[in-house]
Structure formats: structure tokens, C-alpha cells
Structure 1
Amino acid sequence: MAQGAFRQTRYQVLFVIALAVLVAAFLSVAAVGHGFFDLKVYSGALHYWAREGGEIYDWLKPNSKYGFTYPPFAALLMLPLAYLPFLLSTVLSVALTALVSVLLLWWLVDPVARRTGWTRWFALAVAVCLAAAFEPMRETVDFGQVNMLLLVLVAADLLWLVRPGYAAPGQVVPGHALPGRPPVGRRDPARYRRWAGVGIGLATAIKLTPGIFIVYLLVTGRWRAAVTASGTAAVATLIAAAVAPDASREFWTTALWDTDRVGELAFISNQSLQGVVARLDPADPSALAWLVLVVAALVVWAWRVRSAVAAGDEVAGLALTGVLGALVSPVTWVHHLVWLIPALVLVVDHGVAASVGSRRRRGLLAFAIIAYGVLCSRLVWLWEHDSTGVGGFLGSNAYVWVSIALLVGMPIGNRFRSAAPARPTPEAGPGAVAGGGPGSGRTEAGGVAELDQPERRPSPGPVDLVRRPLAVGD
């Protein structure tokens, strides 16, 4: 047995090395260098503001029209950039993005590995390699953007604080040992509920677009978390106003409403619904058409996230809201599409959980491969200078079509069937249903212990799912 395990590990190491080499070769051809453009904007604006006494929103990068566009609270958090050498700033930017990206992938991929029996380090290593080839990820790194930091703030909030699990008789609670494993210590998630919403509020104060997750909390009935998130964002904004009143006044009265500061809406990198409309008529985009599309997206999203929460699937709520944010934001540059990562992982999750050889399994995995391939390909840039005609309309908005497909078709709910319905207790929280819910628990099928819904543990991350052996059930 030990020899077989050693052989498997050796093959896995060789596979990861080969995959890393392939990704490196792909990046050497496909990656486009941006020279940490956005990080230079942050550093230049903060230097002008903190060390030269200028107004932060008046500064523009030389030979461009780009300046600092984030709220003043973000400027306070980024203030060290005004004093650090730019080389050190780039090292910190890359290191932080890499660290939080690995953390997010661990949260999302580790549950899949546990249910399928994959080696956990191997699943994470493969996910990291694939993420490195993902165009939004490599653009985030090369621009020096903060997207992944915000995504992890929101994900930690939703998966760890907003919907903790609660124990019913015979159920496994977060912090308890998984079946067949030694105890790892117990944490009562109820003690942390008072902080639910803080991460979303901080992310919103740094960059306004994560505010869509406050709407998510409201639509799904998490009133306390929504109030906490709103209050956190408001307090952070007031702190910034007290420290930097002039900058705050200029941002909220002038800079926020100046759309020219962020670039042209019709630019090919704008892969939002507004970008689709703008490319149809760059000189005069139809505000009515954009509004109709946004309302339609909101209706579909509200219906789907309420279904996800009713099924106890908080990961799907995170994924669907990330997709919605990319669609309805007036400007969604390619690097903003890192918010699609949870949705893509969930499609794979549902695909591998389906019966081997089933049409569902083939369909989901084929869609995941195609969507991932499109989002690695730089396909839309073929129409950078001319997006006219049917081919231009379809090709220049390829990433938008992927986002719409995820919003409409991403599976939600159980990734596997329950052998016997669990009986929820009042502590299971709203949305608990027979056989599954946010506090779902442990059943027995042929003497094999199982969990019929996601379980969160304090380590390694907020989402920790376990599935019975594949021989049982599907």
C-alpha cells in the first residue's frame, strides 16, 4: 500500500511539473505585459497627494487620462505606496495577490478534492497552475490590481461568517472531526456571527462595486449582516472623510461621476452589459437598452440566489453575485473577471459529482472546459479595432456570453444525493430543508458516514465539504 501511495505521489508531482511547464510556455506566448500600469497610477497619485501636497483626484498619469478612481478610504489603506520604492511595491503586490489567490482556491477546491478522493495538495497545485493561465488573473497581477484582495474579503465573509453551520442531533458541526478523522478542536460559529458583513463592508469602502453583495444579503434575508456591512462601509467612509475631507468632498461630488477617468465604455476590455451596448453604437450608447439588460440580469439573479440560499448553498450565492457584478457594472475590465472564479469551480464541482458517464457530467465538464478556454484565450482582442458586424458582435463580447451562461445555467444546491433526509432543527437557520441546508448533517448509507451538505471548519478554510465514497450513491 505504501509503495502504491509513493508511486501515485510521484506521478502527481510529475504531472504538476509538466502542467507548470506548459502554463509557463503558454504565458510566454499569450501574456501581454502591462508594466504594473495601475500600480503606477496608485503610487503616483498617492505620492502627489501625501508628499507634494496636491489633490489626489487631480493627478493623472503622464501621457494618459488615468488617475486614482477609488474612494478616499482606499487611498488611506494604500498610503504606504507613496513612500515605498516602486520595485518593492510591485513585489508586495504580486506576493499579496498570489497569497490570497492560493487561499481562495484552497477554500473552493479542497472540498471537491475531499469528496472525490483526490489528493488535496495535488488538487490545489493543479488549480493554481490553471489560475495562472486564466487571463483575468494574469491581468490582475500584471496591472498590479486589487481584485483578488477584495474577492477574498467577500468570500471569507460569506463562507465563514454569514452562514455558519449549526448542529442538529447526529450532525457534524464545524470544528468537529470529519468521519474517521481525529478531533481538530471545536469552534462555535455563533460567536462570530456579530462580525458577519464586515468583510463585505470593507471591500465596498475600498471599491464601490463589491456593494452588490450588500444587495445580495438583503435579497436573501440576512438583514443583520446587511446592516453590519452597510455600517462598516459607512464608518470607513466617515473615517476617510475625517482624515481627508478635501479628497472625500472631491470624490463624492466630482470624481465619482466623471466616467472619462476610467476609460471608454466601448473599449474591448469592457466585458460588461454596458460594454456590449456601447460597442453597438460607440458614439451614442443606448441607456435604455443597458437598463433593460441590467433589470433582466437582476431578476434572474434574484431568483437564482434565493434558490441557492434555500438549498444552503452559500458558495453558489457568492458565485452568482460575483457574476452579476461583472455583468451590471458599467465598466468591467478583463481583470475584473476574477469574480467568475467561484462560478467556474462550482461548475466543475457539480460535474465531477454527477454520475460517471452521465449526460449531466459530460455537459457540465465540457462547458467548464470551454468557458475556461475562452477566458484564457484573449479571444475578444481579435476585435479590438473593429467590432462591427455579426462576427464582431459575437466575438468582441465573448466573455460577456460566458458570464451570462454562468448566471443562467450554473448549477446550485446539493452536489450529491442524500441517502436519507436529515431532520433540521430550529437552529438550522432559514433555508434549511429536508435532506439538506446550511446546517446539514450526517447520515448513514450502507454503514458509510456522509455529510449531505457543505460543512465549514476553522482550518483550512471556511468551506469544508465531505462526500461519501463514490461506490455509494452516484
Structure 2
Amino acid sequence: MLLAALTEPVAETVRFGQVNLILAGLVLVDLLVLMPRRSRAAGLLLAVAICVKLTPAIFLLVPLVSREWRTLARTAVASAVLTVVPALVMPASWLDFWTRAVWSPERVGGVEFLSNQSVKGAVWRAAGPGGFPVVTALLVVAVVLVTLLAVRRAGDRDALGTVLIVALCGLLVSPISWIHHWVWTLPLMLWLVAPGRAGRSRRQPVLVGLGVAWLVATTTRVMWLAPSGGGREYSASLAAKFLSDAYAVLGLASLVAVSAVLVAGPGRNTPAHRVLTPDAAGASSR
């Protein structure tokens, strides 16, 4: 708990009164506890997270690729209900959000600001105002494709690794990913240093190295040694620009490393309830 409090994303979440930790908890309980148990509540907590903040919608990839159609259906219905209800209570604000605000990520702050550790933010800081849209688009597509491949390959063999890689994907491809959004680095660090997972043996030094790098980056605030604010990010030196992209760079490296572990595993597992016939299932239980 002390280590968690010392990490910058968690500390910033608390300082700004954000809900990132709560949303991460909802997602983890839904995808790691309820969905594997085929609970009738599976998908409802994810729906709540999506309706509080749109970014958790990226986690729909997990039930989608896993073909958990009932979970997807419950999430869709619950999300629709929770989205429509505010329209009945405050229609003007609801209409303004869905017709204007949701399409303008810049409203929450400058894309180039150092705290924005998304791919788009990194490209803007490297290339200047507006960045290189083509480069941003290619990086986003690459991140999504790698994520889809890893999630498809992993199946339900490494549920936490699957959720973490989807979280990294969402943080990297979102136009704005402030440092306090990166609370997923905490379970990611634990996953990176944990031994004994399939496909990890040859990569263990790299994974542990990434875990240590994340620990340094999230506890020392070293990134803030780079110029920030008022557009100073644009005129920073090459070394400072690299430092200012610490989370984004480590995020991309972690995406590749986690994907390599998930893809290198023994293959997609098929849950027993989808393989056994009722007679076979009954026989196996006797």
C-alpha cells in the first residue's frame, strides 16, 4: 500500500480527486472475477466504468475477442440505459457533451503538455504543434493490432496480462492520457516482476528491467526535469524530449514485452464448459 501511494499516478489521482482507481477496480473485478465465473452480473461493472468515463470502453476488447457474447450484451444494454438516463435529467448538458465536448479532447488541456503521455502527446512534443498526423495514425494502428494479436493468442490463459495489455493500448491510443490515468502501472509492475508465467523464462531479465524502470519513473518524478508548460516542450533538447515521454516510451516497450509473453504461450485455452458435453461434464465430476 505504501508503494502504491508513492507512485505518481496514484498520488496524482488522490490529489486531483480523480476516479481512476475506482474505475480500475471495477474493470478488474468484472473481467477477472465475474466474467470467468460466467456470473449474471458480468459486464455490469464495466458498463458503470464506461459511463463514468468513456476510456474504459477499450476493455470491451476482452469479452469481444473471448466471444463472451452475454457479457458484451449486458455491458451494451447497461451502458445504453446509464447513458440515456442523464439525458432525461439534464438534457442541455447531455446534448452539449455528445455533440461537442466528446469530440474535442483539447478542451481538457494542451495536447503537448508533458503530463499527456499518449502517443499523440509524444508525437506533438517531438514534431511541434499538430504533430505528424500520419505518424500518429500509424503508431495507433500498430498498437491496436499488436494488442488484438496478443489478446487473441492469450485467451484466458493469463487473464491479468490480457487486461493489462488492453489497458496499455487504451492509454497509448487515447488523445489525452494524463499521468494520473496511468494507475495501471501499479498492477503492471507486479506482473512484470512475477516469476513462473508461461513464455517468460528467456524474457525475465527484460521484464524485470521494465518493472524497475517503471518503479523509478513513477516514484522519482524524474520526467518533470524536462521543460513543461507554456509550450516549452516544443523547444526542449532531444534528451529532454525523450525524458518527457517516459511513460509513453515505457508503455510502448511494455506493450511489446507483454505481447511477446502472451503470444509465446502454449496457445489459446478453451474453457471446459465450452468443450465438454453435458454427459462428459457429468462423468468428469463423478
TM range (shorter): 0.7 to 0.9
In structure 2, distance between residues paired with 1:316 and 1:325: 14
Identity %: 34
1:383 pairs with 2:231: no
In structure 2, distance between residues paired with 1:242 and 1:424: 43
In structure 1, distance between residues paired with 2:270 and 2:84: 42
- How far residue 287 of structure 1 moved from its aligned partner, in angstroms, is 2.1
| 2:162 equivalent in structure 1 | 317
| 1:238 equivalent in structure 2 | 84
What is the CA deviation profile of residues 378-437 of structure 1, one whole-angstrom value per residue up to 9, with x for unaligned ones?
12211233443421331111111111111110234899x9xxxxx98841669xxxxxxx
In structure 1, distance between residues paired with 2:112 and 2:264: 40
Bigger Rg over Cα: 1
**Partner amino acid for 1:209?**
T
1:142 pairs with 2:43: no
Q: Which of residues 106, 125, 133 is equivalent to 1:287?
A: 133
Structure 2 length as normaliser, TM-score? 0.84
| 2:252 equivalent in structure 1 | 404
Higher relative contact order (CA 8 A, sep 6+): 2
| 1:253 equivalent in structure 2 | 99
In structure 2, distance between residues paired with 1:412 and 1:245: 45
Contact 1:313 1:413 in 2 (8 A): no
- How far residue 298 of structure 1 moved from its aligned partner, in angstroms, is 0.3
User: Structure 1 339/367 Cα, relative in aligned 2: closer, same or farther at 3 Å?
Assistant: closer
| 2:28 equivalent in structure 1 | 155
User: Structure 1 424/242 Cα, relative in aligned 2: closer, same or farther at 3 Å?
Assistant: closer
Q: Which of residues 191, 201, 219 is equivalent to 1:346?
A: 191
Q: Which of residues 223, 232, 242 is equivalent to 1:394?
A: 242
Higher relative helix content: 2
- How far residue 218 of structure 1 moved from its aligned partner, in angstroms, is 1.6
Q: Which of residues 129, 134, 153 is equivalent to 1:307?
A: 153
User: Structure 1 232/377 Cα, relative in aligned 2: closer, same or farther at 3 Å?
Assistant: same
Structural mapping, 1:256-271, within 5 Å: 256-271=102-117
1:370 pairs with 2:216: no
| 2:177 equivalent in structure 1 | 332
Contact 1:374 1:398 in 2 (8 A): yes
What is the CA deviation profile of residues 299-354 of structure 1, one whole-angstrom value per residue up to 9, with x for unaligned ones?
10001111221x522111111111111101100000000023222211122xx337
DSSP-derived class of the 2:220 partner:
coil
Structural mapping, 1:157-236, within 5 Å: 157-164=30-37, 190=38, 192=39, 194-236=40-82
DSSP-derived class of the 2:219 partner:
coil
In structure 2, distance between residues paired with 1:307 and 1:240: 39
- How far residue 226 of structure 1 moved from its aligned partner, in angstroms, is 1.6
In structure 2, distance between residues paired with 1:362 and 1:232: 43
- How far residue 225 of structure 1 moved from its aligned partner, in angstroms, is 1.3
Structural mapping, 1:411-450, within 5 Å: 411-412=261-262, 426-427=272-273
- How far residue 360 of structure 1 moved from its aligned partner, in angstroms, is 4.8
**Partner amino acid for 1:228?**
R
In structure 1, distance between residues paired with 2:147 and 2:110: 27
**Partner amino acid for 1:402?**
L
Contact 1:312 1:413 in 2 (8 A): no
DSSP-derived class of the 1:195 partner:
coil
In structure 2, distance between residues paired with 1:425 and 1:317: 16
- How far residue 373 of structure 1 moved from its aligned partner, in angstroms, is 1.2
**Partner amino acid for 1:321?**
V
Structural mapping, 1:458-469, within 5 Å: none
Unaligned runs of 5+ in 2: 277-286
| 2:122 equivalent in structure 1 | 276
Aligned length: 265
Contact 1:348 1:364 in 2 (8 A): yes
User: Structure 1 424/254 Cα, relative in aligned 2: closer, same or farther at 3 Å?
Assistant: closer
- CA-based RMSD of the aligned residues comes to 2.6
- How far residue 258 of structure 1 moved from its aligned partner, in angstroms, is 3.2
In structure 2, distance between residues paired with 1:425 and 1:227: 20
In structure 2, distance between residues paired with 1:424 and 1:280: 44
Structure 1 length as normaliser, TM-score? 0.52
